[in-house]
Amino acid sequence: MEKSGTSTRLTGAVQDLTSELVSALRSGGPFRLAHGVPGADDGIALAAVRVMGADAVLPSVLHDVPPGSDDLAVFSRAVHAYPPPAGASPASAWSHWAMERALRTLDGSADTPPDGVPGRGTEPRAAWLEDASWQSLTHQLAVLAPLAVPGADSAVARVARGRPVDVARGFVRAVRRRDWLQAAGAGRWLVLLDGVPETLGLETGLAFVAQMGGDDPRVALQVEAAQLMRIGVRV
Amino acid sequence: MSSTEFLSAELTEVTVDVEAALDPTEADGSYRDSRECAALALQAATGTLLLSPPTPRPKKG
């Protein structure tokens, strides 16, 4: 099926933003979201930030560098411009929840509900994930990889912590299927989990995924995040 | 179509695209090619082989 005009532009904007984020993670230097999103007033640019989710501020989180106020403003605009619509998928709801949490953490209002409204910011339900097969679990966790950050608890993270062997199996399956993006996302979760079988060879596996799929900036971003978390950046 | 209607339509279209990007279906799997096998072989040389094939068993009889 032919992609719509906005879909093509959105895909390109996401790729560009992802490449900027990978560079920032690798260099350890500051990442200016407001600079990395040319024309941040453009709906497509904000939509790209929304698609990236909480990973749009990942360099600030992993390198413990406070974002600039203009960067937070761009991030906040994306959060508010694209809330999950009625009937949104759990992945969309969780992605938005993670963005709100990241926003509150970075702007120092972590103890305040979003927009000051009691009840806002409540975790979405995770029942759909608890009953998922290990294959589906791995797919969903890879989609929700922006939730995999050190010290960030959530119902999704708790499900992952309870099923490390299933995630490890999913990682191997993704590698064997050459689904590098899923493998990279699953690998990022595995870095944070206890009880991962040592026979998995996670470090080597991540290097392999980077070698095979690293041309895709989305894969590179997940692998870079995993490797930074593995060596204990910030934590 | 007025400019307001145009912007509204585009926002709706972008929202649909965002939701689709946030909830992708699982990619179809594909399997090893010679490039991947070469990479595996290189890693085997360093003693860090991942996903090695099973050791051939001796034939009976």
Mean pLDDT of A46-67: 94
Query: Within a domain: residue B15?
Result: yes
Query: For chain A, what is the domain count?
Result: 2
Please report the DSSP string for A51-114 in residue order: HHGGGGGHHHHHHT-PPPHHHHHHHHHHHHHSPPPTT--HHHHHHHHHHHHHHHHHTT-TTS-G
Whether residues A4 and A61 fall in one domain: yes
Q: How sure is the predictor about A168, in pLDDT bands with cuts at 50, 70 and 90?
A: very high
The mean pLDDT value of chain A amounts to: 90
Side chain identity at residue B31, one-letter code = Y
Whether residues A113 and A58 fall in one domain: yes
Q: Which of A57, A91, A123 is the last residue of a domain?
A: A123
Q: Are A62 and A234 in contact (CB under 8 A)?
A: yes
The whole-number pLDDT of residue B3 equals: 65
Element holding A217 (H helix, E strand): helix A217-230
Q: How sure is the predictor about A234, in pLDDT bands with cuts at 50, 70 and 90?
A: very low
Whether residues A157 and A116 fall in one domain: no
How far is it, in rounded angstroms, from Cα A151 to Cα A78? 24
CA distance B50 to chain A (A): 7
Query: Within a domain: residue B12?
Result: yes
Query: Within a domain: residue B16?
Result: yes
Query: Within a domain: residue B34?
Result: yes
Query: Within a domain: residue B33?
Result: yes
Q: Are A124 and A90 in contact (CB under 8 A)?
A: yes
Interface test with B, best of A8, A10, A94, A216 (most B CBs within 10 A): A10
Domain that holds residue B35: 3-51
The whole-number pLDDT of residue A235 equals: 35
Q: Is the pLDDT of residue A72 over 50?
A: yes
pLDDT tens for residues B6-39? 666 667 788 999 999 999 999 877 766 666 666 6
Query: Within a domain: residue B59?
Result: no
High-pLDDT (> 70) share of chain A, %: 89
Q: Which of A83, A105, A123 is the last residue of a domain?
A: A123
Please report the DSSP string for B1-61 in residue order: --HHHHHHHHHHHHHHHHHHHHSPPPPPP----HHHHHHHHHHHHTT--SSPPPPPPPPP-
Residue B27 vs residue A155, higher pLDDT: A155
Whether residues A36 and A52 fall in one domain: yes
Whether residues A129 and A190 fall in one domain: yes
A55: phi then psi, degrees, rounded to nearest 5: -65, -15
Query: For chain B, what is the domain count?
Result: 1
How far is it, in rounded angstroms, from Cα A105 to Cα A111? 9
Residue A12, token pair as written in the block: 């390109």
Whether residues A131 and A114 fall in one domain: no
**Residues in contact with A128: Cβ distance below 8 Å, sequence separation at least 6, in sequence order:** A90
Q: Which of A66, A97, A123 is the last residue of a domain?
A: A123
Residue A221, token pair as written in the block: 């971003």
List C-alpha distances in Å: A20 to A38, A48, A150: 11, 12, 22
Whether residues A71 and A174 fall in one domain: no
How far is it, in rounded angstroms, from Cα A160 to Cα A193? 7
List C-alpha distances in Å: B43 to A28, A169, B39, B48: 28, 21, 6, 6
Q: Which candidate, A108, A59, A103, places its Cα nearest to that of A81?
A: A103
Whether residues A72 and A18 fall in one domain: yes
Q: How many CB pairs under 8 A join A and B?
A: 84
Whether residues A84 and A149 fall in one domain: no
Locus of tokens 């050791």 = B55
Residue A62 vs residue B13, higher pLDDT: A62
Whether residues A16 and A129 fall in one domain: no
CA dihedral (B13, A78, A33, A7) in degrees, to 10, reads: -10
pLDDT tens for residues A105-144? 998 876 666 666 555 668 998 998 998 999 999 999 999 9
Q: Which residue of A has its CA nearest to B17?
A: A7
Q: How sure is the predictor about A6, in pLDDT bands with cuts at 50, 70 and 90?
A: confident
Residue A63 vs residue A234, higher pLDDT: A63
CA distance B19 to chain A (A): 7
Whether residues A31 and A63 fall in one domain: yes
Interface test with A, best of B22, B37, B42 (most A CBs within 10 A): B22
pLDDT tens for residues A96-107? 999 999 999 998
Query: Within a domain: residue B57?
Result: no
Whether residues A139 and A117 fall in one domain: no
Residues in chain B closer than 8 A to A88 (CB atoms): 19
How far is it, in rounded angstroms, from Cα B34 to Cα B40? 10
Residue A38 vs residue A158, higher pLDDT: A158
**Residues in contact with A43: Cβ distance below 8 Å, sequence separation at least 6, in sequence order:** A81, B10, B11, B14
Query: Within a domain: residue B61?
Result: no
Considering the entire predicted model, what is its pTM?
Answer: 0.84
Domain that holds residue A71: 1-123
Question: Which range has the worst mean pLDDT, A65-69, A91-95, A115-119, A203-207?
Answer: A115-119
